[in-house]
Amino acid sequence: MDPYICIIVLNWNGLKETLDCLASLRRISYPRFKVIVVDNASTDGSPKAIAEQFPEALLIRNQVNAGFDGGNNIGMRAALREGAEAVLLLNNDTIVCPELLRRLADAAAFLPRAGVLGPKIYYHESPDVFWWAGSRSSYSTTGWMLTYTQEGKRQRDEGQYDAISRIAAVIGCAIYIKSEVLREVGLLDERFFIYHEEYDLCRRAEDAGWYCYFVPEAKVWHKVSMSMGGEYSPSLYYLWTRNWMLLSRKHTPVLLWPMLYLAYLKESFWVYQGLGEKGRHAAAEAALAGAWHALLNRFGPPGRLVPPRFLSRLAARRFRRLSGSGG
């Protein structure tokens, strides 16, 4: 019998995107699935519209914005109570192919130790251009910071990623996870709030003996720019920089943390410099604020996007010295 799957869609003031996503889910050909919509305290009327237009979906209304991680964890707990054998975390600004669940479920059934799987993801505005076609892991320039890179990004699909393959991680936009994995390694770490939590989950799954796979016959189209206010959003750089430390620290032996912290500060200055050179000063300051909060062990919902003055002056001085514009 086909495994029972719960699709979890998180909504926060995303009325049009969420309704479009749910409409595409109605076209899924797989026989045994349920949609769970977790609303993160929206104020745009979307919960009412979702309840009226998609009564078959289970709608969970949070009283506060629990973030990407907290909201999806609420959905996954509900899915496990429903008896789901797998969950698919799906961004609300996506459109899916009708065969999505069939391709993922079939791959999960025959691939060895398959625990976490991901589909091909395209740009919605350029339907044959990849946004994601797998992830590989490496370490940063200093050799200390754990990083993940997206394969295929901005490449046109010409068949170069048509093979099922083992990968380092599945991106959180559309991530299929067996319930057995969740029961063994736990849910998303809510300290991340949003960004890098999926890499942490995949790393924990691999440490427990599960594998991550890329399944190219399963396809999703992502309205990428709608999520966090653009490529140089200060909020994005704050969370990305802050959570980079949490991810690396969780998977580095404690005795090596002093070296990790030194490398992180150096890498954060490089991020600041790179953004400054592009004139993205608000994003540069936010990235530095994220680094500072990581060093202070302040995770969860975002803090102020402004770093302390001494750190900002130190980074600016280093930037001027490296660019040759001052001493």
For 162, the token pair is 């048509």
Alpha-carbon 199 to chain mean position: 8
Looking at 233-280, list the stretches that DSSP marks H as alpha helix, in order from N- to C-terminal side. Answer: 234-250, 257-277
Mean pLDDT across the chain: 91
Extract the runs of DSSP E, i.e. beta strands, from 111-248.
Answer: 114-123, 130-132, 135-139, 146-150, 165-167, 174-178, 211-222
Q: What is the pLDDT of residues 84-135, one digit of tens each?
A: 999 999 999 999 999 999 999 999 999 999 999 999 999 999 999 999 999 9
Give the pLDDT of residue 228. 44
Rounded (10°) angle between helices 234-250 and 257-277: 160
Decide if 209 contacts 109 (C-beta within 8 A): no
The mean per-residue pLDDT over the stretch 262-273 comes to 85
Among 3.10.290.10, 3.90.550.10, 3.40.920.10, 3.40.50.970, name the CATH number for the domain at 5-226. 3.90.550.10
The predicted model gives 251-261 an average pLDDT of 89
Provide the token pair at 244.
Answer: 């980079």
> Which three-class secondary structure string do you get for 51-114?
HHHCCCCEEEEECCCCHHHHHHHHHHHHHHHCCCCEEEEECCCEEECCCHHHHHHHHHHHCCCE
Going by C-alpha positions, the residue among 59, 65, 122 that lies closest to residue 93 is 122
| Cα distance between residue 190 and residue 201, in whole Å | 11
Residue spans in the chain of domains classed CATH 3.90.550.10? 5-226
Separation CA 285–CA 305 (nearest Å) = 7
The whole-model pTM stands at 0.92
Confidence of residue 183 (pLDDT cuts 50, 70, 90): very high
First to last CA, the chain: 70
Q: What is the largest CA-CA distance in the chain?
A: 70
- How many residues can be counted in the chain? 327
With residue 7 as reference, give the H or E element that holds it: strand 5-11
- Rounded CA gap, 5 and 218, in Å? 15
Instruction: Dig out the tokens for 246 from the structure.
Output: 């949490």
- pLDDT, tens digit, 9 for 90 and up, residues 220-243: 999 985 344 456 689 989 999 999
- Using the predicted structure, report yes or no on whether residue 210 has a pLDDT greater than 90: yes
| Rounded distance between C-alpha atoms, residue 131 and residue 220, angstroms | 10
